[in-house]
Amino acid sequence: MDMINILTVFILAIFVGNEIITKVPPTLHTPLMSGSNAISGIAIVGAIISTKVGGELGTWLGMVAVIFATINCVGGFMVTNRMLKMFKRK
C-alpha cells in the first residue's frame, strides 16, 4: 500500500467526517459524542494486530490494548443505546 494512496484515503475520510455532521439538536450532542467515541474503539483492530506482530512485549501490551479498546467499544455502544432509549416517547 503506498503512502499517497493512504493519504488520499485519510483526506477523503476527513472530508466525509466533516460533512456528515451538520446540524445536531443539543439533546443529541451527548449520544452522538458517545456513539462516535465507540467508533474510535476501532483501535481494537490495531490492538488485535499488535498481539501478533509485536513480539512478547507487544503481545502483552496488545492484550491490554485489546481490553481497553473493547471497553471503549462495548461500553460506548451500550451507553449510547441506553441514552437513545430515553428519546422514545413515553
Partner 1 sequence: MEYTNLAYVAAAVLFIIGIKRLGSPKTAQSGNAIASIGMLIAIIATVASFDLLDFKLIAIGMIIGSIIGATFAIRVQMTQMPQMVAIFNGFGGGASALVAASEFFTKHGTADLNTFISGTIILSVFIGTLTFSGSFIAFGKLQGFVSGKPIVFSGLQILNGFMVIGIVLIGTLITIGVNQDLNLFYGIVVLAVLLGVTLTIPIGGADMPVVISLLNSYSGIAASATGFVLMNNGLIISGALVGASGLILTNIMCKGMNRSLANVIFGAVGLEQETLSTDGKQINVKSSTTDEAAMILDAADKVIIVPGYGLAVAQAQHAAREVAEQLELMGKTVLYAIHPVAGRMPGHMNVLLAEANVPYDKLKDLGDINPEFEDCDVAIILGANDVVNPAARHDTSSPIYGMPILDVDKSRTVIVNKRTMNPGFAGIQNELFGFENTVMVFGDAKEMLTTLYKDLKEL
Candidates 8-16, 38-46, 47-55, 67-75; binding stretch for a second copy (CB under 8 A): 8-16
Residue closest to 35 by CA, chosen among 15, 21, 49: 21
| Interacting residues with partner 1 between 38 and 67 (CB under 8 A) | 38-55, 57-59, 61-67
Query: Within 10 A of 45 (CB to CB), how many other CB atoms are there?
Result: 10
Q: CA 34 → CA 26, 56, 81, distances in Å? A: 13, 34, 9
Q: Is 12 in the site for a second copy (CB under 8 A)?
A: yes
| Interacting residues with a second copy between 19 and 78 (CB under 8 A) | 19-20, 22
Using CA atoms, how far apart are residues 89 and 36, in angstroms rounded to an integer? 24
In terms of CB distance, is 4 or 57 closer to a second copy? 4
**Closest separation in Å from C-beta 5 to a second copy:** 5
